[in-house]
Structure 1
């Protein structure tokens, strides 16, 4: 099967542009080969699905993921500090009450 569902053409375009395919709905990356192997035998229309697939530079995806990790790390650190402060203050309050 060479593209009656549009998969072959999209995979070839990605290969030529040295890009990967990013599924914006599921946030999943596919190399051109993975994309073709996954979807080329589909017996159903992929028109709607393919509208959510974008050709992107995979290195930009790595950078975006690293930025997201940094953001999440900062959120975890901030939340951890709040929790520790809360319980430290509660422990001090309890010691003062028990004194």
Structure 2
């Protein structure tokens, strides 16, 4: 207790960055942050977070915001958001369309690369 206040961190669904990454890979999904609306491939997530302190309050809070999702659902949600916009927001629509196109290309490229047979090292 600190001056009568107890600090509690909500228990995250995932126990570690490695747990997030392995679940995403097993399910052929990506990692999504519900607060920032940001997406990572499992490899991008590893590169950005594997060296962070897994037990810090900041990391534990961060892990409560993370979910594993199919990135194609992100594309669908973005198109729904786009269709909900009014015509008067044409500049915002252009920005959103560019983001959707970039994200769509990233998803397609990622899964195309996953589908390629891995080259084996020859001895």
Give the TM-score band, short-chain normalised. Answer: 0.5 to 0.7
Deviation at 1:39, TM superposition (A): 0.7
* Aligned residue among 51, 76, 81 for 2:87: 76
* 1:7 is aligned to 2:2: no
Q: Which has the higher helix share?
A: 1
Q: Deviations over 1:34-62 (max 9, x none)?
A: 11111111136211100100101101111
What is the match of residue 27 of structure 1? 37
Output the TM-score relative to the length of structure 1.
Answer: 0.66
Output the TM-score relative to the length of structure 2.
Answer: 0.54
Runs of at least 5 residues in structure 2 that lack an aligned partner in the other structure: 1-14, 91-123
Runs of at least 5 residues in structure 1 that lack an aligned partner in the other structure: 81-99
Divergent runs of 4+, >3 A: none
